[in-house]
Amino acid sequence: MSYIKFDSSKLSKFVHENELPEIQAMVTAADEELRKGTGAGSDFRDWLELPTKYDHDEVSRIQRAADKIKSDSKYLITIGIGGSYLGAQMAVNFLHPNFYERKNQATQVEFVGNSLSSSYVNDLLNLMGDDDFSINMISKSGTTTESAIAFRIFKEKLIEKYGEKEANQRIYVTTDKAHGALRHEATVNGWESFIIPDGVGGRYSVLTPVGLLPIAVSGGNIIDILNGAADAQNEYTDPDLEKNDAYRYAALRNILYRKGFTTEILENYEPNLRMFAEWWKQLAGESEGKDNKGIYPSSANFTTDLHSFGQYIQEGLRNLFETVVKLDAPASDVTIPSADKDLDGLKYLEGKALDWVNTKAYEGVVLAHTDGGVPVMTVHLPDESEYSLGYLIYFFEVAIAISGYLNGINPFNQPGVEAYKTNMFGLLGKPGFEEIGKKLNKRL
């Protein structure tokens, strides 16, 4: 039985018994495309065996670098955008208590270079003040606009504070092994560097140095994460839908999609899973949104969002289905206290555990939404450990890859991402894009 429990029992009114057996042949074909490399994008499948074939020496270097950063820095400024930061921030948020960074006891991992907001950059600079810090620049090329600007700003501050020689000892880069501007700069300046494997795309890179260094600096056990992912790798190999929950999830979401359920909402009942949804949205959206088709990935944080757009989910357009990541055992719990008077009407809950109440809310929502015509699936996560996180990451990675092939697209490229960049470069006046800029300015 899988470590992660996948519950699709509430789909009976939406998916008939015959439909999973009938899609099995397509799933088997998709599995062959993925495993044998016969499908589109086959050069970017190295994440498949990454948990069991990672570079042990490099992971040891990551741990040593993390120890050094924790010993000499109050902040690790992690610079990257998209897959270069989402996985790391997701993991840092998941693995630590809410508000942990406000205790100011451990090295704080802060993220920048994921927007072009001047206020955000200045707020981070003001937060750091004169405290010691190091930089982890994450980029294949080193020329991604958002990250490159942030790197220039924080590198300048680093040199101003420490001088160039010591600053070079506080810059850690995660980049291509041989090519690109960042690789060249790292070689020239002697920065410690870690490799983004050629066969791993950004949205699949959290289990590479891209995610592992920031996670290790935050205090996360990266070996346990890799072990969880390794066990998931071994678990999700059989294409039989009766034996592979990750493939079953992929198949069911495609069955629902073909019936007009075109938006998937990934939901949680724990605030420290919010960034997990952001990571998942890139994984799903960038993998599947191509050729004018694909499931639209959205997210909701319950019970919070039940008081905002829960009304729409319950009674709005019936193109939605939900996948809940339900944490079965939170890291801590609290008992609802007794009171002399029942002014708030909570006497019936006195002495109950708050997580029990949270679980009953989840159960009530599932029943209400399915009654309202919204299909709901649940991925049950046992706890908030590193092992569980690694397992969960791999579950969704392999499921989305299979889902992409089921829908007849290349799940490993992202050609549409370049469109905004071309326009932005033209409007900014980047050399080589002047003519594009002139045409765009006429349209504005």
Q: Which two tokens stand for residue 176?
A: 């291509």
Annotated catalytic residue, options 286, 288, 384, 386: 286
Task: Report the b/e string of 229-256 with b at 16+ CB within 10 A.
Answer: bbbbbebbeebebeebbbbbbbbbbbbb
Rounded-to-integer distance, Cα 165 and Cα 408, Å: 52
Q: Is 101 a catalytic residue?
A: no
CA-to-CA separations, 203 to 156, 273, 401, in angstroms, rounded = 29, 17, 11
Rounded-to-integer distance, Cα 277 and Cα 299, Å: 6
Q: What angle do CA 392, 394, 397 make, to 5 degrees?
A: 110
Q: Is 347 a catalytic residue?
A: no
Tell which phi-psi region holds residue 380, choosing left (phi > 0), alpha (psi between -120 and 50) or beta: beta
Distant-in-sequence, close-in-space partners of 331: CB < 8 Å, separation ≥ 6:
97, 383, 384
Rounded-to-integer distance, Cα 158 and Cα 311, Å: 49
Q: Is the peptide bond before 303 cis (omega within 30 degrees of 0)?
A: yes
Q: Environment class of residue 108 by beta-carbon count within 10 Å: exposed (0-12), middle (13-18) or buried (19+)?
A: buried
Annotated catalytic residue, options 293, 421, 438, 439: 421
Q: Which two tokens stand for residue 231?
A: 């066990």
**Strand (E) positions, 205-252?**
none
Q: Which two tokens stand for residue 226?
A: 């890799």
Q: What are phi and psi of 415, to 5 degrees?
A: -60, -30
| One-letter amino acid for residue 8 of the chain | S
The catalytic site residues sit at 286, 421
